[in-house]
């Protein structure tokens, strides 16, 4: 029986892998049309997704990076719609030990979702209203959470410092992000038009906003 071919040689050093990975991501996409601070965020999203082609579909308010970073520096909490988003945030690098709250963790979430005939993520946004003022809201999973956040803002809920709206999927994701892009209700925002998004990209956006590209 013929012997299997030996595995190819590969990088093993973590720092070398990190540097090479970002170098290849940067070479694969055109960030020239973006402001420098937003290009930094975009590069992390490309790195997290492996999709350089997302760059033209990114949308953000001009003050997104400045406002989000200022809020994080002041200790703003981070509200997320899925535990996978929370798990991807590098908590040790948050500038002020910022608390990360998953809206699904509220013990009333399931009961409220049933009463409202909606998803737990959407109901969680209702329960998160007392924490909304000045928070960074990061949605990487549920379009219903983004739709509900916009409804709550229309109804007079406190304004968060910024919204990272990156829900993913075939039902409601594109529509919810288009609604955010069309009218962010005066809140700085970042989104990716279309179906693509997800927890990894949402967490990567927070990491870029928190500490940039200077460390893994």
The most confident of the ranges 10-19, 24-33, 111-120 is 111-120
Q: Is the pLDDT of residue 214 over 90?
A: no
**pLDDT digit string, tens, across residues 59-89:** 999 999 999 999 999 999 999 999 999 999 9
Provide the pLDDT for residue 110: 95
Residue pair 184/37 in contact by the 8 Å Cβ criterion: no
User: What mean pLDDT do residues 136-159 have?
Assistant: 97
End-to-end CA distance of the chain: 44
pLDDT above 90 as % of the chain = 84
Under the banding of pLDDT at 50, 70 and 90, the label for residue 205 is: very high
34-46: burial string, b at 16+ Cβ within 10 Å, e else = beebbbbbbbbbb
User: What mean pLDDT do residues 111-122 have?
Assistant: 96
Active site residues per annotation:
47
Give the helix/strand (H/E) hosting 170.
none
Domains of the chain, CATH where assigned? 36-210 (3.40.50.10230)
Under the banding of pLDDT at 50, 70 and 90, the label for residue 212 is: low
User: What mean pLDDT do residues 141-162 have?
Assistant: 97
Give the helix/strand (H/E) hosting 192.
strand 189-192
Provide the pLDDT for residue 7: 75
């Amino acid at each position: 029986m013929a012997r299997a071919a030996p595995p190819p040689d590969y990088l093993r050093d973590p720092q070398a892998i990190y540097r090479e990975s970002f170098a290849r991501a940067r070479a694969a996409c055109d960030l020239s049309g973006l402001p420098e601070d937003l290009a930094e965020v975009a590069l992390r999203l490309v790195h997290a997704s492996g999709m350089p082609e997302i760059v033209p579909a990114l949308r953000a308010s001009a003050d997104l990076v400045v406002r989000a970073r200022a809020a994080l520096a002041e200790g703003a909490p981070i509200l997320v719609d899925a535990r996978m988003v929370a798990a991807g945030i590098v908590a040790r690098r948050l500038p002020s030990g910022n608390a990360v709250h998953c809206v699904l963790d509220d013990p009333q979430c399931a009961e409220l979702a049933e009463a409202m005939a909606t998803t737990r993520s959407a109901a969680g946004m209702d329960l998160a209203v007392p924490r909304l003022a000045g928070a960074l809201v990061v949605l990487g999973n549920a379009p219903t959470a983004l739709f509900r956040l916009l409804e709550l803002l229309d109804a007079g809920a406190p304004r968060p410092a910024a919204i990272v709206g990156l829900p993913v999927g075939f039902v409601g994701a594109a529509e919810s992000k288009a609604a955010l892009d069309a009218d962010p209700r005066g809140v700085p925002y970042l989104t990716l038009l279309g179906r693509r998004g997800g927890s990894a990209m949402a967490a990567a956006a927070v990491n870029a906003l928190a500490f940039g590209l200077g460390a893994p």
